[in-house]
Structure 1
Amino acid sequence: MRRIKTAIVLGLLLGASGASAKDCSALATQTDMNICEGEIFEKADARLNDVYRRLAAKISAKGKSKLVEAERAWLTYRDLQCDFDTLGVEGGSIHGMMVAQCRTEMTKEQTKRLERQLTCQEGDMSCGNQ
């Protein structure tokens, strides 16, 4: 049963990471793959931080306060969700790579969400939901 769960988690996360421009799967060692996926995550996180800063500069003080609160909660959620999603490979050498892939995909989705807000007028309820 544990092997099935591991295979499912691995398949889901490897499939989700298919959108990455960099392919880490061709590397020779698990350590190299872990490092590679970590670098992909760092780039996604840097992009999220850039969009976050641009959005924070655009909105009111009250909006910024809510954005800070929401992002802190989202970061906690992302990390806990990825911990849960990769539970099947916990303790294995692949775990770091799987966590990085999960965090990358969730970070990319959050970046898209915040990017949509960049074009909205604050208070426009319909704008960011496209």
Structure 2
Amino acid sequence: MTIRWYDSSELWNSKRYTPDVVCVNLGTNDLSTPNYDIKLFKSHYMAFMKHLRSIYPKAKIVMLTGSMLNGKPLMDQKKVLDEIKTELNDTGFYRFDFTPMNGSLGYGADYHPSMLQARKMADELVPFINRIK
């Protein structure tokens, strides 16, 4: 099978590969603009977690806060993800928060994490994943 990277009709076949751990890092764009709708974010995030559980019933699913948010948006995201974890009432869901970046390791394109920041994030996340496996 040839994968066509930019073909929007190409659908992921979740039966071809079953992960042990799924990490989800969503919310930075949703919560980085003024007047974001936290209730809408929560409802869509919850729906996505339920969808992931339906296709990966045995996987450990880690809901992440990324390194790019800070202040009120980060606090709102943490609160919502903690609420979702509780409301799902599923011991296969986990929470992990990256340390917010402060620019000391540089920036990538459009203030995204630099290579050094990505390494720091990996150094934070890998031990957590190893503990939950």
Using structure 2 for the length normalisation, give the TM-score: 0.28
More strand, by proportion: 2
Rg bigger for which structure?
A: 1
Task: Give the structure-1-normalised TM-score.
Answer: 0.29
Higher relative contact order (CA 8 A, sep 6+): 1
